[in-house]
């Protein structure tokens, strides 16, 4: 999969950086940079999707830190869910081409 060089998340442009030596992903909200590990080629889209969705939730204030650094809780009402879906659609518009009927 070819990753985009940038995505729009919650109205802001984020840089997408590929890391050939890692298999996971991460992001920083301050710099608006998403890192996607491309070591495991079969998981690139899943990692990209995970980081995109988590970044949207973070920017929309629906991701909350739990007891440890890897424990997060995601809470949203329907209005927030609608905004989440709209943000996801915008972020993925150059990655997934819509099917024409």
Instruction: Give the model confidence (pLDDT) of 54-81 as tens digits.
Output: 999 999 999 888 777 778 888 999 999 9
What pTM, to 2 d.p., does this model score? 0.86
101 occurs within a structural domain = no
Residue 95's φ and ψ, nearest 5 degrees, are: -100, -45
Q: Determine the Cα–Cα distance for residues 92 and 49; give it in Å rounded to an integer.
A: 9
Q: Determine the Cα–Cα distance for residues 31 and 29; give it in Å rounded to an integer.
A: 6
Query: What does the pLDDT look like over 8-39, one tens digit per residue?
Result: 999 999 999 998 888 889 999 999 999 998 88
Report how many domains make up the chain.
Answer: 1
68 occurs within a structural domain = yes
Domain that includes residue 23, residue range: 6-91
Check residues 84 and 23 and name the one with the higher pLDDT.
84
Q: For the chain, how many residues are written?
A: 101
46 occurs within a structural domain = yes
99 occurs within a structural domain = no
């Amino acid at each position: 999969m070819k990753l985009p060089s940038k995505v729009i998340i919650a109205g802001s442009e984020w840089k997408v950086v590929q890391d050939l030596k890692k298999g996971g992903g991460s992001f920083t909200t301050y710099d608006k940079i998403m890192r996607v590990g491309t070591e495991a080629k079969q998981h690139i889209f899943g990692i990209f999707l995970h980081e995109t969705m988590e970044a949207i939730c973070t920017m929309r204030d629906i991701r909350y830190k739990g007891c440890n650094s890897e424990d997060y809780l995601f809470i949203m009402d329907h209005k927030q869910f609608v905004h989440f879906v709209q943000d996801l659609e915008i972020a993925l518009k150059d990655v997934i081409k819509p099917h024409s009927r």
